[in-house]
């Protein structure tokens, strides 16, 4: 099972889902992780998502395409030496998008699980986040500021920038990312999980994307919404429901894998 962490500037070793829940998804699996460029387990963990010690190498090389290239390099080294019956790609948030990209590009992946990957376009997810997390009196200005930033990234040559621990390469890639088109290229069984109270990505955009996929007659995916959960799979009472979601993933995989 390949586990893909989210977009933060932290070592995957400190990822809480990996530490506490990933093994239960498929207990018999070996779990493979790949660090992002420039990051090691020695980097102090920051839970708030803003890493003041984020390495320059990470900022320079951090983008979805680099992550996919890295995992293919590792898989090509690991798989020939083992007799695995199945390969599972599992990720949450940005990690879910990477899992989809790997599943679309590799015949080695037998099943993919995407947790809170959001809608077709990252731009819609960011606007959703700004609209729900910014005070009303500052919301319009924040949306306008982000729209101008996105336009600048998309219409100009590479520039030196670091916003939210991400550089130009990451922002450019994410702002041109099309999850729907990637999922159209995934042929193996795919479970797409979306929290209904997600503030980080748009549940409505995710639902619209699924409706579009169904129109295209894609039948290899299942879409499950947890209406009361947030991006971290916590309910409105503040209780983590990760264990329940993991059990549901495990049961789904039992139906899909040999």
CATH number at residue 184: 3.40.50.1820
- Residues of the chain where predicted confidence (pLDDT) is lower than 70: 49
The count of domains in the chain is 1
Residue 156 lies in a domain: no
Residue 185 lies in a domain: yes
Residue 141 lies in a domain: no
* Token output for 183: 């999922």
- Which pLDDT score, from 0 to 100, does residue 190 have? 98
Which domain, by its residues, includes 88?
A: 2-121+178-256
Residue 130 lies in a domain: no
Predicted TM-score (pTM) of this structure: 0.95
- Let me know: does 104 contact 68? Beta carbons within 8 Å: no
- Which pLDDT score, from 0 to 100, does residue 50 have? 83
Going by C-beta distance under 8 Å and a sequence separation of 6 or more, which residues neighbour residue 189? 110, 111, 112, 220, 221, 222, 256
Residue 34 lies in a domain: yes
3-state secondary structure of 89: strand
Residue 164 lies in a domain: no
Which residues face 166 on adjacent strands?
163
- Which pLDDT score, from 0 to 100, does residue 135 have? 97
Residue 172 lies in a domain: no
Residue 66 lies in a domain: yes
- Which pLDDT score, from 0 to 100, does residue 65 have? 97
- Let me know: does 139 contact 130? Beta carbons within 8 Å: yes
Burial class (CB in 10 A: 0-12, 13-18, 19+), 50: exposed
């Amino acid at each position: 099972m390949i586990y893909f962490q989210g977009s933060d500037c932290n070592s995957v070793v400190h990822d809480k889902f990996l530490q506490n829940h990933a093994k239960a998804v498929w207990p018999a699996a070996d779990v493979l992780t790949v660090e992002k460029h420039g990051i090691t387990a020695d980097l102090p963990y920051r839970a708030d998502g803003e890493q003041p010690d984020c390495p320059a190498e990470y900022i320079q090389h951090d983008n979805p395409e680099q992550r996919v290239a890295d995992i293919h390099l590792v898989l090509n080294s690991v798989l020939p030496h083992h007799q695995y019956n199945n390969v599972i790609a599992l990720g949450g948030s940005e990690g879910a998008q990477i899992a989809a990209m790997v599943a679309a590009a590799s015949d080695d992946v037998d099943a993919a699980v995407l947790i809170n990957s959001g809608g077709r376009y990252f731009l819609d997810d960011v606007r959703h986040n700004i609209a729900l997390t910014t005070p009303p009196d500052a919301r319009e200005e924040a949306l306008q500021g982000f729209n101008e930033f996105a336009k600048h990234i998309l219409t100009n040559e590479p520039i030196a920038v670091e916003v939210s621990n991400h550089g130009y390469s990451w922002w450019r890639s994410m702002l041109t990312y099309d999850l729907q088109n990637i999922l159209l290229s995934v042929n193996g069984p795919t479970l797409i999980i979306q929290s209904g109270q997600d503030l980080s990505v748009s549940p409505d955009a995710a639902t619209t994307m699924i409706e579009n996929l169904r129109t295209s007659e894609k039948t290899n995916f299942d879409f499950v919404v947890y209406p009361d959960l947030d991006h971290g799979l916590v309910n409105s009472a503040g209780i983590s429901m990760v264990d329940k979601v993991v059990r549901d993933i495990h049961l789904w995989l039992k139906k899909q894998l040999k």
